[in-house]
Amino acid sequence: MPRRRQPTLRERRLAAELRFLRETRQTTLAQVAEAIGWKTAKLGRVETAVSGVSLKDLGVLLDYYGVAAERRAQLMERASTAGRRQWAAYEQFVAADYTEYLEMEVLAVGVRAFDTSVLYGRLQTESYARAIMEGHSMGLLSPGEIDRRLEIRMARQGALTRQTDPLHVWVIIAETVLDTTVGAPEVMVDQMRHLLDLAELPNIDLQVLPAVKGAHPGLTGAFAILEFPESWEADVVYLETMTRNTYLADPHEVHRYSLAYRHLSAMALDPGETKALLARRVRAQEAKSR
């Protein structure tokens, strides 16, 4: 029998929700399986995303759990697209755990990000992003691979300006990020102008954390918190390192990062002050280049 492909994030989240529905009713796999006429092993495979679940079988489970109409419709919609991989064409160019993050972004309605060394990817201009990737690659990536990764980064930005339900992004930027010259000086000027343009969008909130604020909860590094549309879908924290990407879903860990984000926001300049700071930096850079 051929091995089934790895489940998508959508499939795993749907499986986790089905497991949650059963556990909140304090029933066992065997009890539910017997009640709906399934084998226990089949239900176990569905709850662990080892096997996908058809819309017909999902309907049987939701009927048994007595799921309300609105939530039922949401889960059925989620199941209808569960096996879809929007970024499948790029899987050979990026690590599997990063592809997983891209799929997770598709499901998110909001992102809170804190950056300590470079700007959050969705805020980057193409020139800034290319300079970052070339610096990070240390010669290990071919120009073609960098081009493909750049395509991904630019495509992700479409979520910020789409006509229907644009992604809400709230980014806190450590001031040291702005002090780091990435690429040529004109690249930084264009990047600052781009930040100012983005800051005018109603779905984007930018704050700069001044260096003079000293020690803060984000000293351990950058992180992003992804928020999902339904109340029953827990937030996820995303951490990126040089060699791997990590996701935190434990409620206590997510709460710790959410608390840190609130502290960082309180320490940072408000959005109006942030725009004023960016405008001053643009004027200063332009004056230097004259």
210 inside domain:
yes
Residue 264 belongs to domain with CATH number: 3.30.870
**CA 169 to CA 121: how far, in whole Å?**
11
Q: In terms of pLDDT, which residue wins out, 182 or 243?
A: 182
Q: What angle do CA 231, 157, 154 make, to 5 degrees?
A: 140
Number of domains in the chain: 2
**Do both 170 and 34 map to the same domain?**
no
Q: Residue 250's pLDDT is what? A: 87
Digit-coded pLDDT (tens) for 195-226: 999 999 999 999 999 999 999 999 999 999 99
**Do both 285 and 150 map to the same domain?**
yes
Residue 39 belongs to domain with CATH number: 1.10.260.40
DSSP 118: S
**Do both 196 and 230 map to the same domain?**
yes
265 inside domain:
yes
Look up the domain containing 31 and give its range: 9-80
Sign of CA dihedral 262, 266, 272, 275: negative
Q: Residue 237's pLDDT is what? A: 93
Q: Structure pTM?
A: 0.78
**Do both 139 and 256 map to the same domain?**
yes
223-227 and 236-240 strand pairing: antiparallel
Alpha helices by DSSP H, the chain: 9-24, 29-36, 40-47, 55-65, 69-80, 96-107, 126-137, 143-156, 158-161, 175-179, 185-199, 251-267, 271-289
**Do both 74 and 99 map to the same domain?**
no
Taking 90 as the threshold, does the pLDDT of residue 142 lie above it? no
**Do both 158 and 191 map to the same domain?**
yes
**Do both 66 and 108 map to the same domain?**
no
